[in-house]
Structure 1
Amino acid sequence: MTFYADAGNGGGRRRGGYVPGRDPMVDEVMRGWQERYCTFTDVSICVTTFNVNGKSPPDIIRGWFPEGNVSDFYVIGLQEMDLSVGTYIIDNPKKMEEWMECIRTSLPGGAKNYRAVSTMRLIGVFIVLFQSRASSAKVSKVNAAYVATGISMLVNKLGNKGGTAISLRINDTSVCFVNSHLAAGGGELERRNQDFRDISQLTFNDGLSIYDHDAVFWFGDLNYRLKTENSSWTNDQVRQIASSSEFPVLFKYDQLREQQTAGRVFVGFQEPAIPPFRPTYKYDVGTCTWDSSEKARVPAWCDRILWWTKDPETQLKVRGYESVERILISDHKPVRAVFVLGVRTVDQAKADRLYDEAIREADRRANELLPQVSLSMTEVEFGEVHFSEPSTCVITIKNTGKSMVRFKFIVRPERGICAKWLQITPPHYVIPVGQSTQISLTVMIEKEIAWELKDTKLQDILVMNLEHGRDYFIPVTAQYYPKCFGVTLEQLLRRTGAKTENLIDFGDGPSVEEEFCPPNIPREVYRLVCALQLLGVQKLDLNVVVDDSTFIVVRNALEHDFPKDLSERVSR
């Protein structure tokens, strides 16, 4: 079925003064006429990200910020600002206050030359925005928000990973800054992608999402690694290359660029083709020497700064993108970039005089240039999906018409833009004529969702609307079979399975047969307890973060009853 918006009679527009956001088609015309009613001013913005590894700050960090011209704004994102366990339970701002003082004194010219516009903290993920007192830019509509990811506790997240963000208007241009710390570990690629998608859903108190801004800066310890296992290089060889002027050859193995090219994360965001600095992780603290610990981490560009603009008319240039290797207090190196953003100032009287003409022009365009797109797929079938294991499909949307296309997924009453088990990134976008973009659809069955599901067949119909054009109805299906995770203990007890003679071999001790499992204890729980007994407390390291691949191994062993010895699989 196809539906079109009413292009006639001005779309029911009210006459009078121009108010942005009242009519998207008129807004598009007015954006093209900005030079007729706007003046533009360049503002400089210095963005820096630093994973400080839980360290207490010195009084001052010299060389952290570029020398020379002072920027109008300084945006600082810290990760692992506070690693103390108690902070996850009781809010303790002590580390934040220490780092705030360090940042103030480290800014060019000292603290007296700046004012703090906004801050936001999520445990160790901290963002702060300063404005130079010499800056004439007008700041308004300031908001801050956060999204917690990381370790799950029942239906909540502890927030050891996540994102903090600041939204504001500089003159009449809306800007968003996002500082994030994504999942760590070489095997946690999909978890990092999922963290990005979770943070992308962030909404500020005024209702704006990340993608509603004219310009977005997204930075932090994104934790994407190098897939050098696909090369013939050893870890030592990678380190030698990373230490030499040949380091750019390593970037073709960068996970972030690979995932971005595939349309899974950071669609539409920009970054230099190759970062002009060596990998920023992992170093021995106090040195520029690669990690010499037992883990011997492979070097990687974990720390990044990316940027995005909603419209081609938004002028944003990067003047420098670099790491600061001489800073030695952490196992990461800080990264910084300086941007020049053209911000507009609206002459409201001139805009009001243009309004009637803009309405007529919008009507003419609507009648002549209906938006048209092609989709790489019009229905999405995920097949079988599993508990806590993301599954992603990518749809490519190409603008095949003669006008710019704005699309969004329609919010349905009491249902949102999609079912709870589905995520869409991005939920809306702008596609210039002849260009394409990709949206990723991800099925993720977490605990709270699994508990609510009443049917194993997951179905939804997404409604993608082209502004002043047709609606596309995209069916999405998946098959979810509840197994040993994501169900209640009562459901586990009702499960049936083939009995086995020998569950786990305890060596010289007495054998434990499955028939000895008490009738009121689920078989899977019994097997896990037996495996823990066999491993023993001495072999368990509760400080080690277990990646998703280990969870999948254990889940498959429990569901398929093979291998019998869970302790052997987990300890590998």
Structure 2
Amino acid sequence: MPPPDAGSTERLDATIPGAFPSDARSASTISSQQSLSQALFARRSEYTRPRNVRIKVGSWNVAAQKGTEQDIGGWFVGGKGLEESLAGLGVDAPKSESKEPRESVKEQEARRTKYAPTIPLNDDGSIPGGREVDIYALGLQEIVDISSASEALRPYTDPATANKWKSAMKDALPPGYELVAEQQLIGLLLLVYASPAVLPYIKAVSTTSVGTGLIGYMGNKGAVTARMVIGETTRLVFINSHLGAGADKVALDRRNWDAGQIISRTRFDPIVDSMGLNQAQGEKIGDEDFAFWFGDLNYRLEGMPGDDVRRLLTIHTLDLDTERAKEPSSTSVDSGYDSKTSSEPAVSDDAMPLPPDLDPASLQTTITSLLPHDELQQQQKSGKAFHDGWTEGPIRFLPTYKYDIGKVGVFDSSEKRRCPSWCDRILYRTRAARLRYEEKEKEHEAARKRDEEMKAEGLDQATEDEDVLFDYDPEADGDKDDYDDYDAQDDPQLEAVITKEGFSDEILLEYYTTHMRVLSSDHKPLDAVFALKYDAVVPDLKAKVHQEVARDLDRQENEGRPSITLVVDKTVGTDTDNITDKGSDFDGIDYGDIQYAKSKSRTMTIANTGRVPAIFRFVDRPVEGSQPPGPFPPWLTVTFDREPDKPEKASFDHVYQYTLEPADVCNVELRLKVDIMETVKSLNEGTTNLDEILVLRVQDGRDHFLPMRGRWLQSSLARSIDKLTRIPEGGIRRLQHQKVDNEAVKWSVPRELFRLTEAIEEMMERTLAEWDMTGHESDKAPWRHNAGWPFLKDPGYFENDIHEEALANVYNALDCDESFEKAFDAEIAPMQKVELLAEVLLKFLFSLQDGVVTEAMWRSLEDGMIVREKSKQQLISFEERISVLEILSSTPSHNASFVLLTTMLQSIAKDITNISNPRPKTPRASMDLPASPQVHVRRKTLSKVPEVALRQLIDRNYATVFADVIFRSEGFDKLKEKDRATRKGRMVKLMEVFLVDDDSGM
């Protein structure tokens, strides 16, 4: 497991190491942040400074041998164990700091044990190590026995084995070096360490693994990989792999397949930059600036007899020990140790030494003759693997595999006599090399297409035509050299690279060699040292530049983006409106005290204070609970003093948007009025309030938030009869913010209902008396044209809130238990007062939560009516009233309320009938039914006596109007139209029973 600061690792299925990773997480960027990044990058020279680091990459297949960890500090950290006469790039001569001579090969082999390092004694090291190296990247293979099925199929990795290697590295490294990346997959282990000087610059570490072994997914083969960003500018990737073994064609194809799988299935975590943005969506191999691929790649020498190769190479290994060279070899002739004889011509001391590549007896000449058969280089040239920009340092050392354990230069002497091969390799690739390869591939593809086009045009037959300049053959063409004409690679040159972030880096391969004097495995370890010069971000300087860039962009953006200013009405609505609230710090609209049915308006001015047109609209506000969505709450009406933009010009997905030109203003009225019963109920119960925040959105600008508040005054509406009978004298306002349920029962009927019915009867008497005394024309009396008056009114009676102030005052008097007379202005006539009181009564009855006749009561009443209908039984009015009251008596307050209402209606109907003189000659023709609600009265059922006919019409209209507000019927609105009409007819009939005046014979 990686350390906590090593970044997160792609978690794969534990039972199948290296399964395909999940979809990359999406990056979140917005245009303003991208602009900031671009502007910041343009000034990168101000906050970056060049830094130099040395990276040491090491690879070793330890063959699951015990004690191999004891050698790791010597060869990898100390740079020891080299045989300079057989060493590779950059190795000249050993250091000579020790006074004692270095241990000989013979002594070293004789001393070899599993319980001590096998590095030769008195070896001072020949390549950089210790503090000379800033980053150590170590790749190990076969730290466990991968040939064991139990190990290969193990669903987890035992950390004990990796801990041995980490402990050995910790002991060997100088103080202050820390592990920054770790990943293990069965026998593969990748460890990356950083020096104290480099550690603070390493970020965005991500590790992962890909298994390509058994069934293509098991971890006995595959790769472990680490990605990191150094200096916030340069991406590094380290890949430690173990590819498929074997020397036949199938094994070769499998190695190529393994490499392809590792590339396609490796995914790293997105890189989060200093602004918190994901710069990449799950980076892959190829997105880095510098990649290092190392490990046991297992590529062999193709078509070479193993005995001949061993014999040829043993000529050079005999030179490792002068005593061994003089003694007869104890091995078989096939081993090749006896192939160097005394018959070779001696070289004169005065002779000029030949360069290694020209000396036919030199090691380099031998290597040069073998490398054309190296499968890895063959596959690179044929474009089958590692061909897309991967580079390897010049090979100037003996093959790394396979040696007898405990021997310096004895190749496989077992029965298998394996052919020596460069199985262990270190490759590297720069971003520049990959881009060059991709560009070359584009050119080849373009050439192929041109060739196909020419053939399609019939030019393929004109092979001798001078106009045909080329004929592209992807199998034969290209810059593939003849393998037999292998040219030894020159020393690597410094390579300049432009990183993915646009910074300039340089890299140079300084050393590439194998450690022949390490004896504890059948593979020789090898390493490479790279010098990297990169631009590193200085955090303090970047923070300063970032601040300056952000400020400049903000200023530029503000000058070019729309900007509006809101100026709101700061008056506070209390009992006395238009009082300036100078002491309040509320930055919004305060409506003050809010009562039912009374509207309050506030104004707001929207001014375009920017330099460009501003397009704005109100958008859905943040809501919680059961509040309805939308830009405005249901109790608020917003009116602009201009028309909205035409729909075809709307930029938002909404037609109600407005455009202000620079310096233009728009006035907005925000009118608050609570008249929806559901809202009243919620406000009374405290489940909602009048605190809201409106959101005004400016296109390409910032949102403006407008808070508003109001203080709800308790209303007697939207309550139950039971609760209303508990309200003490003084009204509901007396119990503001108190629980009504805590009060004892005060009244037999709600006091509000009693006061309304009493006031209506009293005001009706005054209206009729005034009409009678003033001698108004009887034909113009409202009850002569509207038999439902004063409870039925023309639909336009309350249009444009013409009576809003008077109605609001009546509701307020009702809630405060005050005289209704005080609610009316002096100029309001008694007839109009009756109409307004009648409207308040209907609204009050409609708002009762349980109704005067509850759902349960109505079910019982309707069941009785249905039974009588089926049996065709008819009760006289007196008997039917007794039957109804008996059911209602189960709840005395409801029963009393019903009787109070029907008695009032009966009294008003009687008074209107009595004053209707002189009587018209044709009552049927002169008495029109109201338009709403439509009361269908069959003309033949009306009496021929005018006053009786009038009373019948009044009773039917009153019964129709009050049936809607008195009765509660479950699911009434969901009934079919016919069923609704039937049920409504029963309600009206029941009401008529109580309105008929039995004493008058009507």
Q: TM (normalized to structure 2)?
A: 0.31
Q: Which residue of 2 aligns with 1:73?
A: 135
* Distance apart, 1:350 and its partner CA: 5.0
Q: Evaluate the alpha carbon distance shift between residue 232 and residue 224 of structure 1 in structure 2; reply closer, same or farther with a 3 A threshold.
A: closer
- Aligned-pair CA distance for 1:13: 9.1
Distance in 1 of aligned mates of 2:199 and 2:519: 35
Tell me how far apart the structure 2 counterparts of residues 169 and 95 of structure 1 sit (CA, whole Å).
Answer: 28
Cα displacement (A) at 1:124: 0.2
Secondary structure of 1:167's counterpart equals strand
Native 8 Å contact 1:241 1:247 kept in 2: no
Query: Is residue 379 of structure 2 the alignment partner of residue 318 of structure 1?
Result: no
Distance in 2 (alpha carbons) for counterparts of 1:185 and 1:232: 14
Q: Would the aligned equivalents of 2:60 and 2:296 in 1 still touch at CA under 8 Å?
A: yes
Identify which of 327, 338, 357 aligns with 2:529.
338
The equivalent residue for 2:413 is: 292
1:515-561 deviations in whole A, cap 9, x for unaligned? xxxxxxxxxxxxxxxxxxxxxxxxxxxxxxxxxxxxxxxxxxxxxxx
Corresponding position: 1:263 with 2:338 = no
**Preserved CA contact (<8 Å) 2:62 2:68:** no
Instruction: State the AA in 1 paired with 2:55.
Output: I
The structural deviation recorded for 1:239 is 3.3
Distance, in Å, in 2 between the alignment partners of 1:79 and 1:232 is 24
Shift of 1:237: 4.0
1:93/1:304 CA distance change after superposition, 3 Å:
same
After superposition, where does 1:380-399 map in structure 2 within 5 Å?
none
Question: Which residue number in structure 1 is paired with residue 519 of structure 2?
Answer: 328
Displacement after TM superposition at 1:96 (Å): 1.5
Instruction: Tell me the distance in 1 between the aligned counterparts of 2:297 and 2:162.
Output: 21
Retained in 2: the 8 A contact 1:16–1:352? no
- CA distance, structure 1, for counterparts of residue 524 and residue 36 of structure 2: 45
Higher strand share: 1
Q: 1:205, CA displacement in angstroms?
A: 3.0
SS of equivalent residue, structure 2 residue 286: helix
1:128 aligned onto 2:191: yes
Which residue of the other structure, out of 251, 255, 258, is the alignment partner of 1:192? 255
What amino acid is aligned across from residue 261 of structure 2 in structure 1? Answer: D
**What is the identity, as a one-letter code, of the residue corresponding to 2:70?**
I
Q: In structure 2, how many angstroms separate the alpha carbons of the residues matched to 1:211 and 1:354?
A: 31
Aligned pairs for 1:473-512 (under 5 A) are none
Which of 91, 96, 105 pairs up with 2:171?
105
Q: How many residues align?
A: 332
Displacement after TM superposition at 1:338 (Å): 1.1
- Alpha-carbon distance, 1:345 to partner: 2.5
Distance in 2, matches of 1:262 and 1:19, equals 45
For 2:414 and 2:307, the matched residues in 1 are separated by 20
Counterpart CA distance in 2 for 1:204 and 1:178 is 12
Question: Relative to 1, partners in 2 of residues 1:240 and 1:60: Cα closer, same or farther, differing over 3 Å?
Answer: closer
User: What's the offset of the Cα at 1:16?
Assistant: 6.2
Please say if residues 270 and 308 of structure 1, whose CA atoms lie closer than 8 Å, have aligned partners that are also in contact: yes
Identity %: 33
Query: Which residue pairs with 2:207 in the alignment?
Result: 144
Q: Does the alignment pair 1:82 with 2:144?
A: yes
Structure 1 spans left out of the alignment, 5+ residues: 1-11, 21-25, 358-572
Q: 1:192-213, CA deviations, whole angstroms, 9 ceiling, x for partnerless residues?
A: 1111000012111331101111
TM-score with structure 1 setting the length: 0.53
Q: In 2, are the aligned partners of 1:221 and 1:302 still within 8 Å (CA)?
A: yes
What does residue 248 of structure 1 align with? 367
Are the equivalent residues in 1 in contact too, given 2:226–2:237 (CA < 8 A)? yes
Greater helix share, 1 or 2?
2
SS for the counterpart of 1:280 is coil
CA deviation map 1:155-212 (0-9, x unaligned)? x622110000011111111111110001111111111111100001211133110111
Q: 1:251 Cα shift? A: 1.5
- Write the distance in 2 (CA, Å) between the matches of 1:334 and 1:270: 19
**Which of these residues, 295, 304, 312, is aligned with residue 220 of structure 1?**
295
Going from structure 1 to structure 2, the CA distance change for 1:175 and 1:348 (only over 3 Å counts) comes to: farther
CA gap 1:191/1:232 in 2 versus in 1, 3 angstroms: closer
Instruction: Pick closer, same or farther for the CA change 1:58–1:335 going to 2, 3 Å.
Output: closer
Shift of 1:35: 4.5
Return the structure number with greater relative CO, CA threshold 8 A, min gap 6: 1
Q: Is the 8 A contact 2:402 2:522 kept in 1?
A: yes
- For the residues of structure 1 that align with 2:512 and 2:36, how far apart are their CA atoms? 37
Q: 1:120 to 1:13 in 2, by over 3 A?
A: closer
The farther-off stretch of 190-199 and 167-176 is 167-176
- How many Å apart are 1:235 and its aligned residue? 3.7
State the secondary structure of the residue aligned to 2:391.
Answer: coil
Contact 1:43 1:137 in 2 (8 A): no
SS at match of 1:298: coil
Q: Which residue is 1:524 aligned to?
A: none
Task: State whether residues 56 and 95 of structure 1, in contact with CA within 8 Å, keep that contact through their aligned partners in structure 2.
Answer: no
**Helix, strand or coil for the counterpart of 1:164?**
strand
Change (3 A) 1:286 1:307: same
Question: Which residue of structure 2 aligns with residue 119 of structure 1?
Answer: 182
Please, what is the CA RMSD of the aligned residues? Answer: 3.2
What's 1:429 paired with? none
Offset at 1:17? 6.2
> Aligned equivalents of 2:507 and 2:526: distance in 1?
19
Unaligned runs of 5+ in 2: 1-28, 80-128, 271-281, 318-361, 433-496, 499-504, 553-1002
Q: Matched residues in 2 for 1:53 and 1:94: separation?
A: 17
Of 215, 219, 240 in structure 2, the residue corresponding to residue 179 of structure 1 is 240
Aligned residue type for 1:322 = T
Cα offsets for 1:466-523 (capped at 9, x unmatched): xxxxxxxxxxxxxxxxxxxxxxxxxxxxxxxxxxxxxxxxxxxxxxxxxxxxxxxxxx
Partner of 1:204: 268
Contact 1:45 1:338 in 2 (8 A): yes
1:82-103 superposed Cα distances (whole Å, 9 cap, x missing partner): 0154323433222212222223
Residue of structure 1 in register with 2:75 after alignment: 63
Q: Could you say which residue in structure 1 is the equivalent of 2:31?
A: 14
Higher alpha-carbon Rg: 2
Distance 1:113 1:13, change over 3 A: closer
Please give the alpha-carbon distance, in whole angstroms, between the structure 1 residues aligned to 2:162 and 2:153: 16
User: Secondary structure at the residue paired with 2:169?
Assistant: helix
SS at match of 1:326: coil
